[in-house]
């Protein structure tokens, strides 16, 4: 089997709830599940940042790299290629010297941005609760580690 075929996603098996009916809010957890592969891609931290930055604007590769703290050139290249392959980002090469390449969201990518914006809004609304939960958890872990030393 060639490399392209081995990377092609397969359709997921139907997931059923305890009542035996199909559960529309679950997906197959197998690695070759198409839904899982798409979620892995769009939920990747670099993909989320690229999609957020391309909201209603075109950016060049260097502009994206400058805006995304910590991303390597290679990782940004891989991320952009994957997003382009999935139909979420459009790459336009302008015939000038030196070559100029712009990236922008496709209509499909813009629909995903709406969902990402909802996730960011939820995170902003609940960040203090999450920080408090983390502090509580870490305090319990420190206390357990200290008790184990006694």
Q: What is the pLDDT of residues 49-88, one digit of tens each?
A: 999 999 989 999 999 999 999 999 999 999 999 999 999 9
CB 9 within 8 A of CB 39: no
State pTM to two decimals: 0.70
Residues 134-143 as b/e (b if ≥16 CB within 10 A, e otherwise) read eeeeeeeeee
Neighbouring C-beta atoms of residue 113, cutoff 10 Å? 17
CB 102 within 8 A of CB 84: no
Total number of residues shown for the chain:
150
Q: What Rg, from alpha-carbon coordinates, does the chain have? A: 21
Task: State the pairing for strand pair 89-94/59-60.
Answer: unpaired
Q: What is the pLDDT of residues 89-145, one digit of tens each?
A: 999 999 999 889 999 999 999 999 989 889 889 999 999 999 999 999 999 999 999
Q: What is the pLDDT of residues 34-45, one digit of tens each?
A: 887 888 888 889
């Amino acid at each position: 089997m060639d490399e392209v075929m081995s990377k092609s996603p397969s359709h997921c098996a139907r997931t059923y709830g305890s009542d035996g009916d199909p559960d529309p809010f679950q997906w197959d957890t197998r690695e070759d599940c198409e839904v899982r592969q798409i979620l892995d891609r769009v939920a990747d931290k670099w993909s989320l940042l690229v999609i957020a930055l391309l909201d209603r604007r075109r950016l060049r590769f260097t502009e994206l790299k400058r805006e995304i703290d910590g991303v390597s050139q290679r990782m940004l290249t891989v991320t952009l290629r994957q997003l382009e392959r999935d139909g979420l980002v459009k790459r336009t090469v302008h015939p000038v010297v030196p070559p100029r390449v712009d990236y922008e969201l496709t209509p499909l990518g813009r629909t995903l941005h709406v969902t990402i914006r909802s996730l960011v809004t939820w995170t902003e609304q609940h960040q203090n609760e999450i920080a408090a939960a983390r502090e509580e958890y870490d305090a319990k872990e420190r206390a357990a580690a200290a008790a184990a030393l006694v």
